[in-house]
């Protein structure tokens, strides 16, 4: 087990590799992270945000162009991948197609000149944990997607590494298998207690598995924190909009005369803020339908999902629909006019220009 520390890590590809653009922005810039010993740490973000590049730099598969990487307190920038004592599970699983499951798992151990008896023991132990015992002599093409994924995890486990790296390992599985494998990986982490860094674009994976989440945007760290902390106190409009399904409503508003002006309505401010334009964030589940309310809107879309119904309402003076999480028995129909209530404590304010979260004190008069 080991800590992983990133200090000012950046990645810039040569101009020729940047698809003809001489001024291509760096893929990753100024990433500072401290992953604790035994932590399950998730790098989350949309495609192209730099999360996989960051993981590959930790693995030693990409060179680091700026900053310093340390694993277990030891600088790793120039250390080749094989000497970093890490194991990686790839999105494509990267199983050697010409080898059996056993050979796939033993391949890395043979390179270390490990005794055959020890290799057998480790492979059988890992196969036992992952339920792969009956499949050890099979080739990868004779396995299902879920079994292949487990072989990839098994190949990582047998190495008994300091750090596990996962690069979107569940994205090739169907929804049902993804949910069960998620739980298996969480159990595995509890059992092994090893540091795990996990890359995903799936917020459900991040929220359910992570000890802490790092949300990345355009190569930068947007926010790091525990899942619920990040969900309930997003640092930027990007994080607020990225986490949550349906996402947080982000609405243009004004602070004026000690109140929050949203379209034609005036709301109570959650805290004293400097007058001027702001972005108001409200989670759909923090809005309740009320008979009489300052906010009133017309239902323009109804999405019944069984467990709940998502309503989209058009508010006067606002050019964006407001999403509301209705109960499973919501009876609203298209064209209905509903009153909406949001508790001031559930309102989030962001700077309209920078998108940064405004806190009591940070934007006070």
Partner 1 sequence: MTSRVLFRAAAMLLITIWTAFAAGPLFWVGVISLRSTSEFMNSPYALPEAWRFDKYVTAWTSSGYDVYFVNSLIVVLSAVAIVTVVGAMAAHCLARYRFPGNRAVYFLIFSTIVLPPQITIIALFQTLANIGLYDTRIGLILVYAAVQLPLTVYILESFFARIPADLFDAARIDGYSEWATFWKVAFPVAMPAIATVVILNTILLWNEFLYAVVLIVDDAKRTLPLGIQKFMGDQLEDYGMIATGLMIAIIPVVLIYAFFSEKLIQGMTAGAVK
Signed CA dihedral, 204, 207, 208, 212: sign only: positive
Question: For residues 1 and 81, which CB has a smaller minimum distance to partner 1 in the complex?
Answer: 81
CB of 365 to partner 1, least distance (A): 55
Question: Is residue 154 part of the contact set for partner 1 (CB under 8 A)?
Answer: no
Q: Give, in order, the Cα–Cα distances in Å from 168 to each of 62, 212, 334.
A: 17, 17, 39
Q: What are phi and psi of 88, to 5 degrees?
A: -130, 140
Binding mask 171-200 for partner 1 (x = CB under 8 A): ------------------------------
Question: Is residue 91 part of the contact set for partner 1 (CB under 8 A)?
Answer: yes
Question: Is residue 158 part of the contact set for partner 1 (CB under 8 A)?
Answer: no
Question: Is residue 15 part of the contact set for partner 1 (CB under 8 A)?
Answer: no
- Give the H or E element holding residue 175: helix 175-192
CB of 336 to partner 1, least distance (A): 49
- For residue 65, the Cα-to-chain-centroid distance in whole angstroms is 24
Which pairs count as long-range contacts for 22-31, CB under 8 Å and 24+ apart, including other chains? 25/218, 25/219, 26/65, 26/66, 26/219, 27/53, 27/219, 28/53, 28/54, 28/57, 28/219, 29/66, 29/219, 29/220, 30/66, 30/67, 30/220, 30/221, 31/6, 31/67, 31/216, 31/220, 31/221
Question: Is residue 20 part of the contact set for partner 1 (CB under 8 A)?
Answer: no
Among 107, 172, 184, 285, binds partner 1 (CB under 8 A): 107
Classified as helix, coil or strand, 72 is coil
Among 74, 75, 82, 328, binds partner 1 (CB under 8 A): 82
Among 4, 42, 86, 315, binds partner 1 (CB under 8 A): 86
CB of 80 to partner 1, least distance (A): 8
Beta carbons of 93 and 151 less than 8 angstroms apart: yes
Question: Is residue 206 part of the contact set for partner 1 (CB under 8 A)?
Answer: no
Question: For residues 35 and 163, which CB has a smaller minimum distance to partner 1 in the complex?
Answer: 163
Who's near 311: CB < 8 A, 6+ residues apart? Answer: 299, 301, 302, 303, 323, 324, 326, 330, 332, 338
Question: Is residue 94 part of the contact set for partner 1 (CB under 8 A)?
Answer: yes
Question: Is residue 142 part of the contact set for partner 1 (CB under 8 A)?
Answer: no
CB of 163 to partner 1, least distance (A): 11
Question: Is residue 21 part of the contact set for partner 1 (CB under 8 A)?
Answer: no
Q: Which of 213, 237, 215, 233 lies closest to 225, judged by CA?
A: 213
Give me the count of residues in the chain. Answer: 365
Strands 163-167 and 86-89: parallel
Question: Is residue 88 part of the contact set for partner 1 (CB under 8 A)?
Answer: yes
Question: For residues 96 and 327, which CB has a smaller minimum distance to partner 1 in the complex?
Answer: 96
- For residue 139, the Cα-to-chain-centroid distance in whole angstroms is 32
CB of 200 to partner 1, least distance (A): 17
**Which positions from 52 through 71 interact with partner 1, judged by CB under 8 A?**
56, 59-61
Question: For residues 87 and 173, which CB has a smaller minimum distance to partner 1 in the complex?
Answer: 87
CB of 250 to partner 1, least distance (A): 37
CB of 128 to partner 1, least distance (A): 22
Among 38, 48, 72, 108, binds partner 1 (CB under 8 A): 108
Measured distance CA(349)–CA(351) in Å, rounded:
7
Question: Is residue 111 part of the contact set for partner 1 (CB under 8 A)?
Answer: yes
Residues that bind partner 1 (CB under 8 A): 17, 56, 59-61, 80-82, 86-88, 90-94, 96-98, 107-108, 111-112, 155
């Amino acid at each position: 087990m080991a800590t992983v520390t990133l200090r000012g890590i950046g990645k810039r590809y040569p101009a020729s590799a940047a698809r003809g653009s001489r001024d291509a922005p760096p893929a990753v810039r100024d990433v500072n992270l401290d992953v604790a010993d035994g932590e399950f740490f998730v790098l989350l973000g949309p495609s192209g945000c730099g999360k996989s590049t960051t993981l590959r730099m930790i693995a030693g598969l990409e060179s680091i162009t700026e900053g310093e990487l340390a694993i277990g307190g030891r600088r790793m920038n120039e250390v080749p991948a094989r000497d970093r004592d890490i194991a990686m599970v790839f999105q494509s699983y990267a199983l050697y197609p010409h080898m059996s499951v056993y050979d796939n798992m033993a391949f890395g151990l043979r390179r270390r000149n490990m005794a055959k008896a020890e290799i057998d023991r480790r492979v059988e132990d890992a196969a036992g944990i992952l339920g792969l015992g009956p499949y050890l002599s099979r080739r990868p093409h004779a396995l299902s997607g879920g079994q292949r994924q487990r072989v990839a995890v098994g190949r990582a486990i047998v190495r008994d590494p300091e750090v596990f790296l996962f690069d979107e390992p569940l994205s090739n599985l169907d929804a049902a298998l993804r949910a069960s494998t998620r739980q298996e990986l969480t159990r595995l982490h509890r059992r092994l207690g090893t540091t795990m860094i996990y890359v995903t674009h799936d917020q459900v994976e991040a929220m359910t598995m992570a000890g802490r989440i790092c949300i990345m945007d355009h190569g930068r760290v947007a926010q790091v924190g525990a899942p619920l902390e990040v969900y309930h106190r997003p640092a930027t409009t990007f994080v607020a909009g990225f986490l949550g399904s349906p996402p947080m409503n982000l609405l243009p508003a004004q602070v004026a005369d000690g109140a929050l002006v949203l379209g034609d309505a005036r709301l109570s401010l959650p805290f004293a803020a400097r007058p001027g334009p702001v972005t108001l964030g409200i989670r759909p589940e923090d809005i309740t339908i009320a008979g009489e309310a300052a906010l009133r809107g017309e239902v323009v879309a109804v999405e019944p999902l069984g467990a709940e119904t998502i309503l989209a309402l058009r508010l006067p003076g606002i050019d964006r629909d407001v999403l509301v999480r209705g109960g499973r028995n919501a009876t609203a129909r298209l064209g209905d006019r509903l009153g909406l209530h949001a508790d001031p404590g559930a309102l989030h304010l962001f700077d309209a220009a920078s998108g940064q979260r405004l806190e009591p004190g940070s934007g006070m008069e």
